[in-house]
Amino acid sequence: MKFLAVVGARPNYMKVAPIMRACHNCRGIKPVLVHTGQHYQPNMSGDFFKDLELPNPDYYLGVGSASHAEQTARIMMAFEKVLSEVKPQVVIVVGDANSTLACSLVAAKTCVPIAHVEAGLRSFDRTMPEEINRVLTDHVSDYLFTTCEDANQNLLREGISKPIHFVGNTMIDSLLQWMPKIDASGILPRVGLSPGEYAVLTLHRPANVDTVEAFERIAANIRELARSVPIVFPVHPRTEPRIKDGTLNIDNVLLLPPLAYVDFMKLLKHCEFVITDSGGIQEETTYLQVPCLTLRSSTERPVTIRSGTNRLVQDVALLPQFVARIRQNGQVRSAVPDLWDGQAARRIVQVLARSLAGPVPPK
């Protein structure tokens, strides 16, 4: 059986790597990896493949950057040819990138079963392109694999009748798999940081970085915070223009290029707190028990809020107050969400194997 897995944007790699490994560990399954090229720079793609020991893609579509409509169309046109050639038993898509939706639509129109990993997450904010991708992908998928009970309930409320499987979180699979490499990373001394004595900042959401006005409001508060704590800021390519035009102009923010997986997770694991607008980082900090301040008005991962590690900061002017509260309360102690145990990918492959061809024994 051919299980075709799709990656395109950086968060996809951590979610697909454990699935590829689980496929390789089962007799009778041939995993096929397609990289759309949505993220293509070495520090947004190639370095992650190396850190996660992902095999070279069987197909690289090379779509590159473009508007949402053009990028989605390019992926669909290129992926249709791959699907016709490979003829897989299932297409596995993860997350909520344009690659996720584009490949799902092609598979649906050619009647190839679709498995959506990380299904059912909802921010209920349709101004987020990712929310559109999530909803549409779920409604054309045949297998829905969820990370939390909230996601199950969201799918049921939307009237989805296809099988829903609560399997856990493949991002946590990767985190646990590579923890020895993360612990061995030398990134902290390399950039002059000490464990527990710095904060991490990441920004890439359009609402936060696409306009000078929005970014300056955030930068003003970051400048104030940086007076009391060193802030390290790996700069996403989407955010880079705001740096180049001088919007963030402060000496005590350490600007870094995008980091490979192992080095970034080392930074995350040992920081005092995180300021972000990322979805995946909300989950990783929850597992690592690191306080996280999310600069958004909503989150598709409310389980991280309930865990006590994550807080939504809807008004950036309140950021200093949230930081002061973190420092007053000290280290976070909370329960890890159910089934975030490093076995999600194995469960996914078992479900698909049994459904498509009966039980498949491990190698």
pLDDT tens for each residue of 339-362 = 999 999 999 999 999 999 865 556
Of 9, 17, 18, 20, nearest in space to 103 by CA: 9
pLDDT tens, 29-79? 999 999 999 766 654 466 888 999 999 999 999 998 888 899 999 999 999
Same domain flag for 25 and 95: yes
Residue 176 in domain: no
Which range of residues forms the domain containing residue 142?
A: 2-168+343-357
Residues 325 and 347 in one domain: no
Do 116 and 205 belong together in one domain?
A: no
349 domain residue, yes or no: yes
In this structure, the answer to whether residues 279 and 144 fall within a common structural domain is no
| Same domain flag for 53 and 186 | no
Q: Are residues 297 and 254 in the same domain?
A: yes
Confidence of residue 247 (pLDDT cuts 50, 70, 90): low
pLDDT at 310 over 80: yes
Residue 338 in domain: no
362 found inside a domain: no
In a domain, 49, yes or no: yes
Per residue in 216-239, pLDDT (tens digit) is 889 889 988 999 999 999 988 877
Three-class DSSP category at 207: helix
| b/e per residue 274-305 (b: at least 16 CB within 10 A) | bbbbbbbbbbbbbbbebbbbbbbeebbbbbbb
* Shared-domain flag, residues 154 and 191: no
pLDDT at 10: 87
Q: Quote the CA–CA distance of 308 and 235 in Å, as a whole number.
A: 27
pLDDT of residue 329: 85
CATH code, domain with 208: 3.40.50.2000
Number of structural domains, the chain?
2
From 35, 204, 236, 270, the catalytic residue:
204
Q: What is the mean pLDDT of residues 292-300?
A: 96
In whole angstroms, what is the distance from residue 188 CA to residue 51 CA? 17
Quote the mean pLDDT of the chain.
92
CA distance 15 to 150: 19
* The pLDDT value given to residue 31: 98
Alpha helix (H) residue ranges in the chain: 10-24, 46-51, 68-86, 98-109, 129-140, 149-157, 170-177, 179-184, 187-191, 206-209, 212-225, 240-244, 261-269, 280-288, 302-307, 319-329, 344-357
Task: Tell me: do 300 and 260 sit in the same domain.
Answer: yes
Strands 90-94 and 164-166: unpaired
Residues 206 and 154 in one domain: no
Place of tokens 């400048």: 223
Asked if 126 and 218 sit in the same domain, the reply is: no
- Residues 75, 134: one domain? yes
Q: Is 142 in the same domain as 241?
A: no
Annotation marks residue 204 as catalytic: yes
The per-residue pLDDT for range 117-173, each reduced to its tens digit, is 999 999 999 999 999 999 999 999 999 999 999 999 999 999 999 999 999 999 999
pTM over 0.85: yes
